[in-house]
Amino acid sequence: MARLTIGLPVHDGEAFLASAVGSLLGQTFGDFVLVVCDNASTDGTADILADAARRDRRVRIVRNPTNIGAAPNWNLAFRMAGTPLFKWAAHDDLYDPRYLEATVGVLDRDPGVVLCHTATRMIDGDGQELAVDAATGLFIDRLGQVRHGPPPPGRATSPDPVERFRDLFLHLVRCFDIFGVIRTDVLRRTALHCSYYGSDRSLLVELALHGRFHEVPEPLFLKREHGRTSLALSPAERARWIDPRARTPRLLPQRQHYLQLAGAVMRSPLGPVDRLRCLAVLAERADPRRFLRRRRTAIASSTD
């Protein structure tokens, strides 16, 4: 049995898919299977995948007869895994050949780490690195659009699970860590991706309740920003992209996020005291007036 399953969900990804698959199959760590879940693509995706499967027996293709939505397709990619380690990969990102060797090595050495990722470089549709605005630290693509980059290193590394929960819940902006290598048994205990936009944030916070994250300092992950990512969609388009079969939610995504995290806390292996501490963090953020009062008090104290 292989050590690792890479799950790659895709829908109409012909523009970047061959490069993404090639960067994964060219890894120095090769003990993995690549499961590609083709979500009823109508472009040249199927031909690209068939060619990759002919060239490399590690490639396995699952094709959905209809588009089941991004969240169910990402979950399907995970449910195909029968290996100790798992990793999601997007159809448009790239990896340095040493990415898997570096991240799997950390998980082998440290059983307290549940997810290992690397530092990130931001690239555009042509593979060129994005410029950085010196004043703000934000990335700028060639159209002049602002792109938030990766979070700072050191997130979710505390030995205290409540601090890890607080760290990700309060400060997570972009979910690049979701593309790290994860322990499969831990991921199975989570709610996975739910059918609302931003559920990947909740999933990362839930994973942090089970163990520490680790970031390899070398930028071995190349996150591609281009005009066809979900960031370019309207809220209605995002809802259809996530799951076209889901009923219109009665709650805003932010409230769904809070409810998913509350469930994550109750499912977690934490003791009663730590569960209450996590729920208190949620309650404070859910009450904006209380949150602002605490922020003002903290700012006043820091200036005394």
Contact 207, 190 (CB under 8 A): yes
pLDDT band, residue 174 (cuts 50/70/90): confident
Q: Render pLDDT for 107-153 as a digit per residue (tens, 0 to 9).
A: 999 999 999 999 999 999 999 999 887 777 788 877 677 777 888 88
Three-state secondary structure readout of 107-143: HHHCCCEEEEEEEEEEECCCCCECEECCCCCCEECCC
The structure's pTM equals: 0.89
Whether 302 shows a pLDDT value over 50: the answer reads no
- Domain topology for 93-250: Spore Coat Polysaccharide Biosynthesis Protein SpsA; Chain A (3.90.550)
**What DSSP character marks residue 152?**
P
Q: What is the pLDDT of residue 298?
A: 46
Written as six digits, the tokens of 46 are 């199927």
pLDDT of residue 30: 97
pLDDT value of position 250:
55
Phi, psi of 265, rounded to the nearest 5 degrees: -60, -45
Q: Say which residue, 172 or 165, is predicted with more confidence.
A: 165
SS (H, E, C) 1-53: CCCEEEEEEECCCCCCHHHHHHHHHCCCCCCEEEEEEECCCCCCHHHHHHHHH
Q: How many CA atoms lie within 13 A of 86 on its CB side?
A: 22
218-252 per-position pLDDT tens digit: 999 999 988 777 766 777 888 887 888 876 655 56
pLDDT at 304 over 70: no
According to the model, what pLDDT value does residue 12 have?
Answer: 96
| Separation in Å, CA 47 to CA 9, 54, 56 | 15, 11, 14
Residue 293: the pLDDT is 54
Task: Read off the amino acid at residue 79.
Answer: R
Give the residue from 47, 58, 46 showing the smallest Cα distance to 5.
58
- Nearest residue to 180 via CA among 223, 149, 210, 139: 223
Q: What are 34-90's pLDDT values in tens digits?
A: 999 999 999 999 999 999 999 999 999 999 999 999 999 999 999 999 999 999 999
Q: What is the distance between the alpha carbons of residues 258 and 287, in angstroms, rounded to a whole number?
A: 12
Copy the structure tokens of residue 30: 């090769």
pLDDT attached to residue 149: 81
Q: Return d(Cα 57, Cα 113) in angstroms, integer.
A: 30
Element (H, E) at 271: none
